[in-house]
Amino acid sequence: QPLESVMIGVIAPLSGPSGPEGRAYLKGIQEAAKRFSDDNYSLVLEVVDNEGDELKTTESVQILSANPNIVAILGPLSTSGSISASAAAAQMKILLMLPTASRMGLTNAGDNVLQLNSTLFQQGRYAAEYAVGELNAATIAVVAPQDRFGKELTDGFLEQADALGAEIAAVEWYRGIPIDIGVQLRSLRKVAFELAIPDTEVVIIHAVLDTLDSTFNIAEIDFFPEEVAIEEDEDVDSTKIVLSSIDAVYLPIHTGDIQYIASQFTALLLETQLIGNGSWYDPLELSDDLISQNVDGMIVVSNLVEPQHKDSQKQLSISQDDFTSRREFLMALAGYDAMEFLSVNIGSKPNRIDLLASFESPQFYRGTSRIHSFTEQSLKVNSASTVLKYHRGNFETVAEFIADSLVTFKPSAP
């Protein structure tokens, strides 16, 4: 008996500037479709190239929705494309999965839109929760890009840090590619230096002294102890002092900016816990000795995580070596994971109505590279993120946030 075919629509930029990423995304979907087709049905893909264009994205949603055999659509990669797809799908009774979008409000377009990433705001909140709640950071600072991406991450971080009682020492913004953020870093160091200066209590004693009374002697050492005396001609260079007055610094960055930020931040001579977003999750770039030693111990909050166990690695039919860039590999993981999650929700007789209905109740699924947590409070937006620690050239999972609950793990033996 021939297998029943279940058609899934895919929108991806297969041509144009984002073509390599789009093709990697499609490859991930194809590999998962092969693996997760079962004895009852085979997963068949109907792929439309949106060329990275918003208008073509809208048209792609309309074309795929018009085919009654297609039960769900795996949406585009870009934020602008996700916005267009969400708006176009709002009136369609078909599930639209957004595999990479992290912007807030995308699922407001309709009940049929599912966001597989947690929002930037939520990722920022989780970063602060871990820094303050788990690492006990009492004084924190932020250096972030001054755009919507950076603002949403920072807003979430600052809101949660403030709620937990942390002191927000400084927030520094930069624009564009951070080739030179010296002004922001000098400002941050100035704040750290001011925090490092201990408060001095000045006590004024009102006394009438009889200098002729030999029983009342006052020595200079009584007011100026030797251990804190500094010669007048001693020159102290404050720029060479390593400061530890800020417990944690949040450094959300765009993909590709690791080298700029890591090299400049080192010169700051600030002993602090670094907290980063998912754009720092690049083992290959961090393997550079000049970068690796500067960010050792960094905490990163990420949506997608490479399989860390050998069994999972063997099952995954794609690897970093199959692609020319880290970004392409992550897009392949996003496609694979989206198709995997969709396949576990397809019933024995899949159709649009039943598939949509399956997402009307809370779901939890641990995928190959991402945790899926959809709760009563967040049925349409994933509420899970993974916390990684970079140490000695490797990333290791140290915790997971699942619907605002933190689950920590013991570090593996060295």
Select from 341, 153, 159 the least CA-distant residue to 254: 153
Residue 195 sits in the same domain as residue 276: yes
Contact status, residue 42 vs residue 352, Cβ threshold 8 Å: no
Residue 270 sits in the same domain as residue 342: no
Residue 321 sits in the same domain as residue 270: no
Q: Which residues pair with 136 in a beta bridge?
A: none
Quote the tokens at residue 368. Answer: 């190959």
Select from 67, 243, 231 the least CA-distant residue to 169: 243
Q: How far is CA 320 from CA 78, 244, 272, 343, in A?
A: 21, 37, 32, 24
Q: Which residues pair with 391 in a beta bridge?
A: 394
Q: Which residues of 101-119 are buried (b: 16+ CB within 10 A; e: fewer)?
A: bbbbebbebbebbbbbbbb
Ranges of H-type helices in 176-325? 182-196, 258-266, 283-286, 289-295, 310-315
CA distance 256 to 281: 11
Quote the tokens at residue 383. Answer: 């509420």
CA distance 76 to 73: 9
Select from 197, 134, 195, 199 the least CA-distant residue to 168: 195
Select from 295, 249, 240, 293 the least CA-distant residue to 269: 240
- How many residues does this entry show for the chain? 414
CA distance 108 to 121: 16
Domain hosting 331: range is 4-117+306-382
Sheet containing strand 384-391, edge to edge, reads 167-174, 139-145, 248-251, 273-276, 299-302, 384-391, 394-402, 405-408
Select from 264, 196, 191 the least CA-distant residue to 236: 196
Please state, as a whole number, how many other Cβ atoms lie within 10 Å of the Cβ of residue 131. 26
pLDDT of the chain, 414 residues: tens digit per residue: 446 789 999 999 999 999 999 999 999 999 999 988 876 788 999 999 999 999 999 999 999 999 999 999 999 999 999 999 999 998 888 999 999 999 999 999 888 999 999 999 999 999 999 999 999 999 999 999 999 999 999 999 999 999 999 999 999 999 999 999 999 999 999 999 999 886 434 343 343 434 344 443 444 444 344 444 444 444 545 667 888 999 999 999 999 999 999 989 988 889 999 999 999 999 989 988 888 888 999 999 999 998 865 555 556 788 888 999 999 999 999 999 999 999 999 876 689 999 999 999 999 999 999 999 999 999 999 999 999 999 988 999 999 999 889 999 876 555
Residue 215 sits in the same domain as residue 110: no
Residue 147 sits in the same domain as residue 86: no
Select from 308, 292, 291 the least CA-distant residue to 396: 308
As a dihedral over the C-alpha atoms of residue 399, residue 25, residue 146, residue 384, rounded to 10 degrees, the angle is -30
Residue 144 sits in the same domain as residue 269: yes
Residue 85 sits in the same domain as residue 212: no
Select from 375, 397, 371 the least CA-distant residue to 385: 371
**Residue 398 phi, psi (nearest 5):** -110, -15
Residue 40 sits in the same domain as residue 150: no
> Residue 73 belongs to a domain with what CATH number?
3.40.50.2300
Residue 247 sits in the same domain as residue 336: no
Select from 24, 27, 108 the least CA-distant residue to 327: 24
Give the E-state strand segments of 207-304 in sequence order.
248-251, 273-276, 299-302
Residue 157 sits in the same domain as residue 209: yes
Residue 34 sits in the same domain as residue 125: no
The total number of structural domains that make up the chain: 2
DSSP label at 288? S
Residue 252 sits in the same domain as residue 369: no
* Residues whose CB falls within 8 Å of the CB of residue 336, separated by 6 or more in sequence, listed in order: 28, 29, 31, 32, 316, 318, 368, 369
DSSP string for 143-210: EEESSHHHHHHHHHHHHHHHHTT-EEEEEEEE-SS-S--HHHHHHHHHHHHHHHSPP-----------
CA distance 359 to 303: 20
